[in-house]
Structure 1
Amino acid sequence: MASEPTVDMASDVEKGEKPGDHLPKTSINIFSWSDIGVIVKDQKTKKPLPILSSNHGIAKAGDVVALMGPSGSGKTTLLNVLAHRTSTMKGEIQGTIMVNGRATTTAAIRKVSTYVEQEDAMIGILTTRETVDFAARLSLPANMSKNERLHRVNELIDSFGLQRQADTIVGTPLRKGLSGGQKRRLSVASQLVTSPSIVFLDEPTSGLDSAASFEVMKYIREVAKLHHLIVIASIHQPSTTTFQLFDQLTLLSRGKTCYFGPASGVEAYFAKIGHVIPLHTNPAEFLLDLVNSDFIHGGDFAKGRLQHVHDSWTASDEHNTLEASIANCRDKDVGASSLPTVRKNPVYISYVLLHRNFIKSYRDLIAYGTRVAMYFGLAIMMGTVWLRLSYNQTSIQPFINAIFFGGAFMSFMAVAYVPSIIEDLHSFRKERANGLYGPLPFTIANALVGIPWLFAIALMFSIITYWLGNFHATASGFWMWVLWLFLDLLAAEGLVVLVSSIFPIFVVSLAITAFANGLWMCVGGFLVPLNTLNVFWKYVFHYIDYQAYVFQGMMVNQFKSTIWDCDKLASGYQCMYPSDLQSQGQIRGTAVLDAYNYSHSDKKVGEWIGIMFGIIIAYRLLGYGVLALKKH
């Protein structure tokens, strides 16, 4: 699964071709919206509350449109409505959104658009080229040739000025990678690999300084002009130079439109309605101050000013011209909804995700490297604490303690997987929302990539602890010990994935997973014997506790075929567990199992193994179900 070679771009340069000339041009000429409104229920009064009201707009191929307004003005809501990302939006959505004059649907808009979120949800350990390439492999037809795909990848990297960073990783908490501006450019580039016609950007300059913001928007504008894309971006407070990069501006306040038209025309328009933008003033800052509603409570003059801006726009010639333009484009129907759909094979998508996960697993220390080091340290500690225990009855309890400690803490330390799976889930959510794949390929790839690593961890841990601790020294005993630890880790990782899928927040997921492992320790049958355990905890939790089956299986593995010496006294032998060997001063290991009420038949052990596989599969199916049911 090594990374694929790159394509030499020199031949194209020699031919005089521009980067991107081979990418298919857009078939979308006009994107428009009219009377867009969103009404929600006020939490206090329970009455309808409009958060967007009668918004209109139109954009043509090659246009870069800014949605601008103060915080809470509704620009992100409008962006989500235009992109048809309203599944989590609680409220009534009004209005019409048209592509080439035809009212569109969620399925149709996702065929021709992509959405770049404010947060850069990328795999930090992948390089720039790998990030774009995996996006291409997940979205482009599987029958596209490798050379053609890599050619498109390299064109995008060139178009966004990332040639020198092509082999630089995105960046992780442990390894420095791209700068903030480079990450933002890469985030956009990876979304453009399928040549979408419309690009929605949520705060593409958030967290960047003015220079980096200008750099990001400059590249986006150049690509939009070159490929005739329609770019619609929500933006908070651009600098003067960044503001000048936009072709069209939608200015919002309190969900209402204050202006829509050329960004270069704001000075003339606002001067006409009595709000002259002073010379040497950033137009964006002036407009945001003008329509900011957060600090006008009790100020009648300021409230009147904002109302005047709203009313002026509604009554303006520019507003009437905009509505006429939207109405006129209705007859320019070129059948956007009939655009071809790329059909993706779930098996192929699962393979691509598995390849990506595999690269991450061996490069990213957070994914498995840290866990290998943790388990190695735990193994050394356990092996030297329970060092070469004897087969005297005084060692029976230490052996039992060691079995519990090994199984329980192997499971508990799976919480180290939380940050890695949350990064994967963030990437999944972004890629799923853009229609690349669903929860099934993600679940399959995530489950498969961990198998060799978890087996290697179980084997490494067993090699150290089993022989240092002087457990039952047979090959069959050793491999059964490995099997139980392997099943333990598979179940623990499945639990981490399930909890993280429900609560994809690091602290919350970590806390709940740790709590669950503490619960399994309590009800497993070691700390509190099963015949003493409260019936509620016994029947509700014990029988679904995978740690309990691991403990039972490892107990049988250690005590089924071993013999233990009793203490010899002057009056005879004193044996802690009665057995048929008591007269000989020995304890048959099965007597220990009988004391715990554990069956030691091979059939019962096989049943426990079957239950473990059932729990492992159940965790994965539940994780899949959570992702399938979650709206996006």
Structure 2
Amino acid sequence: MRPKLLFLDEPTSGLDSAASYHIMKRIVGLAKQDGRTVVVAIHQPSSEVFELFHNLCLLSYGKTVYFGPASAAEEFFSLNGFPCPTMRNPSDHYLRTINKDFDPDIEQGYGKSISTEEAINSLANSYKSSQIGQQLGAQIAEIHKKGGGVLEKGSQASFSTQSMVLTRRSLVNMNRDLGYYWLRLAIIIALCLCLGTIFYDIGHSYGSIQARGSMLMFVAAFLAFMSIGGFPSFVEDMKIFERERLNGHYGVAAFVFGNTFSSIPYLLLISLTPGAIAYFLVGLQRGIDHFVYFALVLFACTMLVESLMMIVASIVPDFLMGIITGAGIQGVMILNGGFFRLPNDLPNPFWKYPMYYIAFHKYANQGLYKNEFEGQTFLNNQIGGAPTISGEAILRDEWQMQMGYSKWVDLSVLLGMVVLYRLMFFGIIKTTENVKPMIRGLRSNPSRQGNRIMENASSTPVHR
């Protein structure tokens, strides 16, 4: 395409010094040949590679330390008290001087030792008032007069920009990763085909009451349980986030926002396509509104499980331990969700209060059961009873459902729990960021105190 402006991100990574030099020399030749501008983020260039660059931009924590001719950078550092030692690669010297990742490293400047942050501030302030800095500012202002808006100030993008970029990146990663959603979609389609054929055209006999309940419980519990398969990808996302967060690229809220909204299209696809196969093969209650509700509950359940696994990934980064932990939590929720043990039969002290109300399966089962049984009539095989039984009576007497509110309340609770789980995920990350430095400080204090005690003991005179 022969672009006029070309950005290269560490094009020499993994190459030896000879290969790096020839690659960069070729790039310089292409730039001269077509009159293009090449901007390169370079990783530890050799002195030969460094000499190929015409201009140099040194950035440190949002501050421009130097931006000008590469050949003049050594003089600039020397004039500000940071001369490059003899026989040292200039690029290594510049990066060592302005890198405070490894504080408390001390730099030698102005004939005395100063901290790296002081060195950065000194160089940045000196650059602003230097002739090179003023010339660059004038050039930028002149170029800007030719068109465009006001230059944005600040070292970070806005929250909306961060969120959109992270959402787009997450969408691309999810699409490329076969095991993230596509394999899960294929397996859920297969399971829904199994459901559809096992419970095919279920009818309205008395036996279909239990069969419908079993089928709906499987959808709410085990199909949502498949979302646990995304845990390995969640762990990788957390590793990338921690690394980029340490570099200050974006905030926690933008990460949570991007991760949440990027998954919505895929979870909707997983809910609608397999859900339609199971719903219509089984012959559940007719009406598009009933199917839409069914798909929304399935979407909310899968979203809840993903949120739960994100919480686990933020606490338990180990792959195997995280899978076991997430599966165990869901197993407890499924067990007391109101199907395997009816609500009135659950032991009160713990399993019903509070576990039954904490488990999202309670609200998923109630919503799906109300959506399916309300308005329907089934044959009654009980001796001495009426020939038919209403769906409302089944919900109240057989399944012990709470009939004081509609199915939409159950769906609202599920969606509210999605928001709550994501807020918990946000809170855990923020808390971890604040607690880790405190723990490191507490661990280091005893050793420091011990060193002070030893120093005082060695310097105290002993009188006999």
TM over 0.5: yes
Question: Equivalent residue for 2:324?
Answer: 511
Q: Equivalents in 1 of 2:119, 2:185: separation in Å?
A: 44
Of 379, 390, 399, the residue aligned with 1:565 is 379
Distance 1:14 1:370, change over 3 A: same
Letter in 1 for 2:163: S
Of 598, 604, 621, the residue aligned with 2:401 is 598
Question: Equivalent residue for 1:25?
Answer: 57
Letter in 2 for 1:587: I
Report the 3-state secondary structure (helix = DSSP H, G, I; strand = E; otherwise coil) of the residue aligned with 1:564: strand
Of 359, 363, 369, the residue aligned with 1:549 is 363
Q: Give 1:597 shift.
A: 2.4
Of 312, 318, 326, the residue aligned with 1:499 is 312
Letter in 1 for 2:429: L
Q: Give 1:522 shift.
A: 0.7
Equivalenced residue count is 346
**TM-score under structure 1 normalisation?**
0.50
5+ long unaligned stretches in structure 2: 7-29, 41-52, 59-64, 67-76, 83-87, 125-143, 145-152, 437-464
**TM-score under structure 2 normalisation?**
0.66
Q: Equivalents in 1 of 2:119, 2:421: separation in Å?
A: 31
Q: Deviations over 1:64-121 (max 9, x none)?
A: 7999xxxxxxxxxxxxx96247xxxxxxxx7746788642459979x99xxxxxxxxx
Distance 1:5 1:505, change over 3 A: farther
Q: Deviations over 1:211-238 (max 9, x none)?
A: xxxxxxxxxxxxxxxxxxxxxxxxxxxx
Report the 3-state secondary structure (helix = DSSP H, G, I; strand = E; otherwise coil) of the residue aligned with 1:587: strand
Distance 1:552 1:361, change over 3 A: same
Structure number with higher helix proportion: 2
After superposing the two structures, state which structure 1 stretch, 348-357 or 475-484, moved more: 475-484
Question: Equivalent residue for 2:459?
Answer: none
2:91 equivalent to 1:62 = yes
Distance 1:553 1:504, change over 3 A: same
Question: Equivalent residue for 1:379?
Answer: 192
Of 227, 237, 262, the residue aligned with 1:414 is 227
| Relative contact order higher in (CA < 8 Å, ≥ 6 apart) | 1
Of 414, 424, 429, the residue aligned with 1:622 is 424
Q: Deviations over 1:453-480 (max 9, x none)?
A: 1111111122100111111122221111
Distance 1:537 1:22, change over 3 A: farther
- Matched ranges for 1:449-598 at <5 A: 449-535=262-348, 536-567=350-381, 574=383, 582-583=385-386, 585-595=387-397, 596-598=399-401
Question: Equivalent residue for 2:244?
Answer: 431
Q: Is contact 2:192-2:277 (8 Å) kept?
A: yes
5+ long unaligned stretches in structure 1: 34-58, 68-80, 86-93, 113-144, 146-339, 568-572, 576-581
Letter in 1 for 2:271: A
The percentage of aligned residue pairs carrying the same residue is 24
Q: Give 1:377 shift.
A: 1.3
- Matched ranges for 1:65-144 at <5 A: 83-84=101-102, 96=106, 102-105=114-117
Q: Deviations over 1:215-274 (max 9, x none)?
A: xxxxxxxxxxxxxxxxxxxxxxxxxxxxxxxxxxxxxxxxxxxxxxxxxxxxxxxxxxxx
Q: Deviations over 1:593-630 (max 9, x none)?
A: 112221345x4323222221221011101111111122
Q: Is contact 1:556-1:593 (8 Å) kept?
A: yes
Distance 1:356 1:6, change over 3 A: farther
Q: Give 1:24 shift.
A: 4.1
2:68 equivalent to 1:14 = no
Q: Is contact 1:97-1:104 (8 Å) kept?
A: yes
Structure number with higher strand proportion: 1
Q: Give 1:483 shift.
A: 1.4
